[in-house]
Structure 1
Amino acid sequence: MAARYPMGTVGVLALLLSTLPLTGCPKKQLVTFDNDGVLNAKIRRTDYGVPHIKADNLESLSFGIGYAFAQDNACMLLDIVARYNSRRSQYYGPDKVPGSGDSANLITDFSYLALGIREQAEAGYDQLTDTTQAMLSGYSKGFNLYLDHTGSDNLDPQCAGQPWVQPIDDLDMLTALLGTALLPGAGNFLAPIFLAAPPNTSYLPTPVTPAGAAALRPERTLPQVDAQAVAQQATLPSTAGANPQELGSNAWAIGGDLSANGRGLLLANPHFPHSGILRFWQFHSTIPGVLDVLGASLSGTPGMVNLGFNKHLAWSHTYSTAEHFIVYQLDLADSDPSGMTYLVDGEPRTIEQRTLTLNVAVGPNTVLPFSKTVYYSDFGPMLVAPEVLPWGNDQPGRFVAYSIKDVNRENFDIVDHWMAMNLARNMEEFKQSFVNFDGVLFNNTLAVDRVGNSFYIDDSTVPDLSAVAEQALRTDPTLQQARELLGFSVLPGNASVFDFSGPVPYERAPKLERRDFVQNSNDSYWLTNPAEPLADHSILYGKTGVTQSLRSRMSQAMLRDSTGPDGRFNLDDLQASLFSERAYLAEAVLADLVTLCQAQGDTPVEVETSVEDESTTVAVNIADACSSLSQWDGRYQKDRRGAHVFREFAQQFALAPQWVNPFDPNDPTNTPNTLDPNPSVLQQLAKAVLVLEAAGVAPDATLGEVQFVEYTQPDGTPSGEKLPWEGANNVEGGFNVFRSIAEDSSLIPRHVYPPLPGSQISAEGQGYQVSQGSSWIMLVNFTRKGPVARGLMTYSQSIDPRSPHRDDQTRLYSEAPRLRPLYFSEKDIRAHTISEINLSYPLP
């Protein structure tokens, strides 16, 4: 457990202090648990189904939030609970694709058991603060009340009547939180944990035979495991690194020197999956006189707002480049050929083994227990990734093994940290939440207050390495090479000086306060504001002095050139910037690319391509593609023709950028620049043409004809209705970006159109299927009368196909991207209420 995680009195004191004004005189205090024996909450829904929940204590408030979330997304929470509590194999069987042998459910279940999150929840629950316990308790009771009111058979058809529709409890929710905490670390190594076994030892689970019983027939009980499919899931570095899912976000915190009214102004624009366990959900929480906060949170978050605003501050998060774990290379003792002994500071240590058991559905109405041996060093679970992280002799002939240590293990700060932000009444209290807690996990945080201060911090949870370990990662060629190749840090496990005991403290986290702006688009902390570059922080926070992503450069460009006539930003300016659909690469090279391809004319461009694994030369006429590009203005709006041609060119360009002027760390937001008009560029465009031909997409199609959102039927088939979708992609340097993802970590049915190799376009789907990108969009401006906000949940509030709020905001965006008012004042809520319920639940 990290040094700052135990809270007890500290957490209670922090929340008590948050109820005191600057004068020190007490205001109405936060009441955590209900004190009259009955949980009461009011849920009012306004336009687009947004719930506004009001109660007089935290437990009752979370009770109402849990009920409201269940109304919209009951099946999703049940799937999340099953995932992190290792129950998928019990309900779904061992495979994600039944009968395939992919063992995906076995991998998830046994690996989360190995990570010990349920065990940690059970052991740590009594030490949680009252705040966390009250919210877990209330949320689970509210969710269960909805299940009781509705009945399993009347739920969303995606889970109605299924055996995994079960009441949840506090420990289920806490386990899910602890699992989410591992998302940027050990949660990316589930297959390597599953595969980990000493030399000449099987990693496979085995059926548990009751004592005294005859042996069970293997053909009836053992899941058929496709070893190649399992190994493929453990392939590195594609499944690991800091951000394998390409989670992203944009955030601008505009201070009083750059806002039109001299007060704080915020743009929040996370780019998260549109389906699965990382969907956002909007809500508004009120405890009169104590708490009044509106925003959105990830599914299954028990009552606190992750990205939002109150009367005093607004904040957002972006996915940090920081690392949250270390993989340790163990030097195995030659004296123990079993590979179960490793050396630290010259002393032998024994690798521990434990037997874990879970239930697996092996046939209709047949569930049997299976056991598996898992292994641990003192750092954490053992790993095996074929040909990369072996257990035994590696390629240089060393006798080694690997183990992972995640700094977010047993992170019980999550609820308390976000609640402290939700309750903050000024920037000092907001910053104090980062001093007291370490619960934002994997995020940068950007905030503004009502008087025009802006603040940035990367206090995502980062291992606090010793100076020796830091120096080794910066100077040792072998460690540097491994870090570049794998995307994460590997340290020697043979000396205790390389170990860490907790996270980097607040005082040494990258942070910046400004009156003009702070921003982040998923590059490191370095250029939070180019006028004041940050440096001299742990190497684990990310790189400095390096080329910025095209999206980061687009962000910086818009901050320079997209203000209003007064040289300042207001809400309209922020919205216009977001939906300008600009793309940095297009602005940098489009004109030169068109000049180059027009000069080529109808003369074919010869390119090397592969046909049935054999290389061949193909002559490609690029004239039609060039014509479409010549008529395109560089914007990714629905009616634009040629945008997709440039996207496919950008895919090729990203593999081998052709710049005249290289990156200059003294001019990082403007370099590299200027297209080098050489034959390679023409070949890149020719390869883009081949991709579009393979997809069956014409070069003169509009973006709205080839980029779409399509819902999935409960049986997993596509709906057949493709909603045109506006927006760019990371590859071309867009700001409002979207992409397709194959995996959303959920077992809720979802149809995926497979993309062509080396592209994001699908021949089967005839275009780009949108399933990740701009999700919860929120703009906030503080005024003399309080916060004024706009927002949109691009994929809508609910996953229930029967709900009017499954696609209402989605269709709003599809018709023409725009934002809706976010109702925060009591007057506005009353004026726009479309439904109201009062919940009451007598406590046992």
Structure 2
Amino acid sequence: MRTCPGHRRLAALGVALLTALTGTASVSSAAERGEHPQGGGGLSATIRYTEHGIPHIVAKDYANLGFGTGWAQAADQVCTLADGFVTLRGERSRVFGPDAAPDGSLSSATRNLSSDQYFKGVREARTVEKLLDVPAPAGPSRDVKDAMRGWAAGYNAWLKQNRITDPACKGADWVKPVTSLDVATRGFAIAVLGGQGRGVEGITAAQPPTTGAARVQPDKGDVARAARELFGQDDSDMGSNAVAFSGAATANKRGLLLGNPHYPWQGGRRFWQSQQTIPGELNVMGGSLLGTTGISIGHNAHIAWSHTVATGVTLNLHQLTLDPSDPTAYVVDGKKQKMTKRSVTVPVKGGGEVTRTQWWTRYGPIVTNLGAQLPLPWTAATAYALGDPNAVNLRASDTALGFSKARSTAGVLASLRRAQGLPWVNTIAADSSGHSLFTQSQVLPRITDELAERCSTPLGKATYPASGVAILDGSKSDCSLGRDKDAVQAGIFGPAKMPVLKDAPYAENSNDSAWLANADHPITGYERVFGNAGTQRSMRTRGAVEDVAGMADKGGLTVADLQKQQFANRVPAADLTAADTAKACAALPGGSATGSNGTPVDVSGACGVIAEWDRTMNTDSRGALLFDRFWRKLTAAVPAAQLWKVPFSAADPVRTPNTLNTQAPGFATALADAVAELKGASIPLDARLGDHQFVKRGGDRIPVHGGTESLGVWNKAEPVWDAAGGGYTEVTTGSSYIQAVGWDGGRCPVARTLLTYSQSSNPNSPHYSDQTHLFAKKKWVTERFCEKDILTSPALKVVRVRG
């Protein structure tokens, strides 16, 4: 496979490298099954480090490539990875105590005990082993399983050969060797994040009702509202933007791709950047989720892709009719079926054990809540079973590997059709021939609108239209999910049902549904479970579509235009409302407004600050912090229907709703509260944003630009407010692994990247905050993909790693 002008030199280097590498590893059958920690077994790789600690990993096959990847990830992230493996082994309660909270990277569990009950139950049921035994394409391929085996061996080799310097786990006895089963279980946990992972607390807490328990069912309206909030599109946590431009919009008629995932800045869901090369077989670069073997978001010589969290609802519920004499039995087609009882015992810190029972059905586990806001009580008459098609999906790595080897957007679609493994994301891609692609090809329960209409319970008739959460009648076998002919597993949609947009001048997504991937070519006709259409879009989607549509109309785009878009930091909410806010502020009698505590506040100083603000979230913007605090309070207090004078119109979805209703109850109060808050924290109303929105890394205070979800800023940042600490003092989620990729006519892609929180979480690493400093200054890393660029890096360091 020719990959760049330096291909011949790369091939020659590959031959030299592989001559130095040992032969294929000899692994026992027990180790192959992942029952024992993986040893090196002769595995090896060459890692060439360039600027910012970015590794370029070369190996002769997938097992050896996995070895190099596991070794290099451990070098940068050993404590974060080890913490995750404690979770996956169900040992958090023993190590950290049952009541402490995990970081949330691998499930929604709020207590270690619940997390352990779930993951130890997965182990004892041999769930992942059974998935590993499923033949491809319904199960993982040999290449992927080899990479998992190699990753575990590489991680273990690093532990054996190096001393841990990260204070987060230095000297900790919970940092242990891992098995390929641990690596596969991490992939399973990531796959079920939107399904069983969301219901861990409700699965592990579910217990049969006591005798004489009430048969009260939840209120339909309350559950519908809760489901809409839980599965809504205005997600202030996870999210992403991505846009692909076709050759119709670019200067050289080749494609362009800007990926901007908004992911956690701490914990086990961080990205990690690398290049992976098997000479003649694979050459790809990008960001990987920690603990995974391949590239999650990235590019090769021909294709670039990114993902955004999709609106498809990755779970469904079956409402069970219980046997009147036995609440652990349910009725299907008039016949009684017993639930399966799983007792799980978890050791806890300080000695002792806790045993709990889980209850499983043909539809999935019994669940009594999906978060605190969505209770699903188990009564004497009714219980709810959670269906999650991704609980039998271990194909995401094969899908990503297909992307890594694709030569066009058509190749990306072919990988999606073949492996059908993406659990909860959309895919946006562009290629060197000028093609663009958006597709919501994800593993979803096969809930057709017809099935929902025919089989929804009264509660489901409220939740499905509101949120896409189906609650089906579990007493009828013809209310099962069925199978599409082109689907690799039962109960999911086949590729023919997926929303797809090919070769539009732009294809963009900001975590809304597929409907407005291109406002001139709206996508319709998909089932409600994929998302909605014809409804109000988020502020971030509206701003993004305005921006990228304008860029496409202008044409002549280059990678530099993508870079400008990424860090423009325009605030769409302010463009709609700042002028009216300043005008209404100036009209307040006496320049005063009453705060929520009933105290009058002098807000006169705020009027001019907001009027003169440049309406960006740049670090030097004055007025950005004041407007941010005001807007958060206003949108939390005022219902959306009362916020705007001009309501939403499906005929004009990007520009509506508009015109702020400054007479709405809560407007003046929000302004007063924002002013009082800043004054109480001794923060000037016209303070520079970067002085009060920052992160601390070592002895450095690094300013952070970007803004929160409701402001609609493309460069999203979700910072933590700490008035006593001086403002926003940390970022939980936001712009993470950013890539701007194009082609200039040669075979080397033109790529600029940035890992905002840097490559290592070890404060003793030189790559703990180096890219974070770049991010603060809006600077990028010029990527070294082709061999000539790697070899000329002034920071080049070659490491040959062996088991």
Q: TM-score range by the shorter chain?
A: 0.7 to 0.9
Partner residue, 1:383: 367
What CA distance in whole angstroms lies between the structure 1 residues aligned with 2:425 and 2:124? 21
Q: What letter is aligned with 2:470?
A: S
Partner residue, 2:8: none
| Alpha-carbon shift at residue 242 of structure 1 (Å) | 6.8
1:269-288 aligned at under 5 Å gives the runs: 269-288=260-279
What CA distance in whole angstroms lies between the structure 1 residues aligned with 2:312 and 2:128? 26
Partner residue, 1:402: 384
1:623-638 aligned at under 5 Å gives the runs: 623-638=604-619
**1:739–1:76: structure 2 CA closer, same or farther, 3 Å change rule?**
same
Partner residue, 1:598: 586
After superposition, give the CA deviation of every residue in 1:524-552 in whole Å (9 maximum; x if it has no partner). 00011111111111211111100110000
Partner residue, 2:423: 441
8 Å contact kept, 1:645–1:689: yes
Q: What letter is aligned with 1:780?
A: V
| Alpha-carbon shift at residue 346 of structure 1 (Å) | 2.8
| Alpha-carbon shift at residue 200 of structure 1 (Å) | 2.9
Q: What letter is aligned with 1:317?
A: H
Specify which of 128, 141, 147 is matched with residue 129 of structure 1.
141
Partner residue, 2:339: 351
Q: What letter is aligned with 1:481?
A: A
**1:253–1:627: structure 2 CA closer, same or farther, 3 Å change rule?**
same
8 Å contact kept, 1:250–1:520: yes
After superposition, give the CA deviation of every residue in 1:8-45 in whole Å (9 maximum; x if it has no partner). xxxxxxx9xxxxxxxxxxxx9xx9x9637632311011
8 Å contact kept, 1:266–1:314: yes
Q: What letter is aligned with 1:790?
A: R
| Alpha-carbon shift at residue 75 of structure 1 (Å) | 1.1
SS of equivalent residue, structure 1 residue 545 = coil
| Alpha-carbon shift at residue 820 of structure 1 (Å) | 1.5
**1:676–1:370: structure 2 CA closer, same or farther, 3 Å change rule?**
closer
**1:590–1:117: structure 2 CA closer, same or farther, 3 Å change rule?**
farther
8 Å contact kept, 2:236–2:709: no
- Once the two structures are aligned, what percentage of the paired residues are identical? 32
What CA distance in whole angstroms lies between the structure 1 residues aligned with 2:255 and 2:285? 16
8 Å contact kept, 1:268–1:317: yes
Partner residue, 2:243: 252
Partner residue, 2:58: 54
What CA distance in whole angstroms lies between the structure 2 residues aligned with 1:707 and 1:320? 29
What CA distance in whole angstroms lies between the structure 1 residues aligned with 2:459 and 2:787? 60
Q: What letter is aligned with 2:365?
A: P
8 Å contact kept, 2:696–2:729: no
**1:97–1:52: structure 2 CA closer, same or farther, 3 Å change rule?**
closer
Specify which of 679, 686, 689 is matched with residue 672 of structure 2.
686
SS of equivalent residue, structure 1 residue 447 = strand
Specify which of 169, 181, 198 is matched with residue 188 of structure 1.
198
8 Å contact kept, 1:118–1:171: no
Partner residue, 1:150: 162
What CA distance in whole angstroms lies between the structure 1 residues aligned with 2:464 and 2:453? 14
SS of equivalent residue, structure 2 residue 392 = coil
| Alpha-carbon shift at residue 116 of structure 1 (Å) | 5.4
SS of equivalent residue, structure 1 residue 429 = helix
Specify which of 513, 516, 529 is matched with residue 527 of structure 1.
516
Q: What letter is aligned with 1:249?
A: S
SS of equivalent residue, structure 1 residue 445 = strand
Partner residue, 1:8: none
Partner residue, 2:357: 373
What CA distance in whole angstroms lies between the structure 2 residues aligned with 1:484 and 1:585? 28
What CA distance in whole angstroms lies between the structure 1 residues aligned with 2:687 and 2:753? 30
After superposition, give the CA deviation of every residue in 1:118-152 in whole Å (9 maximum; x if it has no partner). 7122233344421121101111111111101014x
**1:111–1:486: structure 2 CA closer, same or farther, 3 Å change rule?**
farther
**1:619–1:488: structure 2 CA closer, same or farther, 3 Å change rule?**
farther
| Alpha-carbon shift at residue 423 of structure 1 (Å) | 0.8
Partner residue, 1:671: 656
SS of equivalent residue, structure 2 residue 364 = coil
- Answer yes or no: is 1:168 the counterpart of 2:168: no
What CA distance in whole angstroms lies between the structure 2 residues aligned with 1:494 and 1:694? 59
Partner residue, 1:455: 437
Query: What number of residue pairs does the alignment pair up?
Result: 730
8 Å contact kept, 2:311–2:531: yes
**1:392–1:465: structure 2 CA closer, same or farther, 3 Å change rule?**
closer
**1:701–1:552: structure 2 CA closer, same or farther, 3 Å change rule?**
same
8 Å contact kept, 2:258–2:741: yes
**1:391–1:659: structure 2 CA closer, same or farther, 3 Å change rule?**
closer
What CA distance in whole angstroms lies between the structure 1 residues aligned with 2:177 and 2:274? 23
Q: Normalization by structure 1: what TM-score?
A: 0.82
SS of equivalent residue, structure 2 residue 542 = helix
1:255-334 aligned at under 5 Å gives the runs: 255-302=246-293, 304-334=294-324
Partner residue, 1:419: 401
8 Å contact kept, 1:472–1:479: no
What CA distance in whole angstroms lies between the structure 1 residues aligned with 2:737 and 2:587? 44
- Answer yes or no: is 1:504 the counterpart of 2:493: yes
Partner residue, 2:744: 783
8 Å contact kept, 1:697–1:767: no
SS of equivalent residue, structure 2 residue 687 = coil
What CA distance in whole angstroms lies between the structure 2 residues aligned with 1:159 and 1:239? 37
1:190-209 aligned at under 5 Å gives the runs: 190-200=200-210
SS of equivalent residue, structure 2 residue 740 = strand
Partner residue, 1:560: 549
Q: What letter is aligned with 1:823?
A: R
Specify which of 803, 820, 827 is matched with residue 788 of structure 2.
827
SS of equivalent residue, structure 1 residue 142 = helix
Q: What letter is aligned with 1:738?
A: A
8 Å contact kept, 2:452–2:470: no
- Answer yes or no: is 1:63 the counterpart of 2:46: no
What CA distance in whole angstroms lies between the structure 1 residues aligned with 2:324 and 2:679? 57
Q: What letter is aligned with 2:323?
A: A
Cα RMSD, aligned residues only? 2.8
Q: What letter is aligned with 1:327?
A: L
Q: What letter is aligned with 1:516?
A: P
Specify which of 670, 677, 702 is matched with residue 688 of structure 2.
702
Q: Normalization by structure 2: what TM-score?
A: 0.86
Partner residue, 2:4: none
What CA distance in whole angstroms lies between the structure 2 residues aligned with 1:103 and 1:431? 37
| Alpha-carbon shift at residue 65 of structure 1 (Å) | 1.0
Specify which of 677, 695, 712 is matched with residue 733 of structure 1.
712
Partner residue, 2:100: 96
**1:821–1:605: structure 2 CA closer, same or farther, 3 Å change rule?**
same
Q: What letter is aligned with 1:789?
A: A
Specify which of 563, 566, 585 is matched with residue 578 of structure 1.
566
What CA distance in whole angstroms lies between the structure 2 residues aligned with 1:621 and 1:597? 11
| Alpha-carbon shift at residue 710 of structure 1 (Å) | 2.2
| Alpha-carbon shift at residue 604 of structure 1 (Å) | 1.9
What CA distance in whole angstroms lies between the structure 2 residues aligned with 1:187 and 1:359? 21
SS of equivalent residue, structure 2 residue 391 = coil
**1:669–1:42: structure 2 CA closer, same or farther, 3 Å change rule?**
same
Partner residue, 2:628: 647
What CA distance in whole angstroms lies between the structure 1 residues aligned with 2:378 and 2:301? 58
**1:168–1:115: structure 2 CA closer, same or farther, 3 Å change rule?**
closer
SS of equivalent residue, structure 2 residue 795 = strand
What CA distance in whole angstroms lies between the structure 2 residues aligned with 1:67 and 1:49? 14
Partner residue, 2:39: none
8 Å contact kept, 1:584–1:733: yes
What CA distance in whole angstroms lies between the structure 2 residues aligned with 1:485 and 1:255? 35
Can you give the 5+ residue segments of structure 2 that lack an aligned partner in the other structure?
A: 2-13, 27-41, 103-108, 135-139, 212-224, 482-489
- Answer yes or no: is 1:113 the counterpart of 2:120: yes
Most deviating of 648-657 and 798-807 = 648-657
Partner residue, 2:772: 810
| Alpha-carbon shift at residue 728 of structure 1 (Å) | 1.6
What CA distance in whole angstroms lies between the structure 1 residues aligned with 2:654 and 2:452? 28
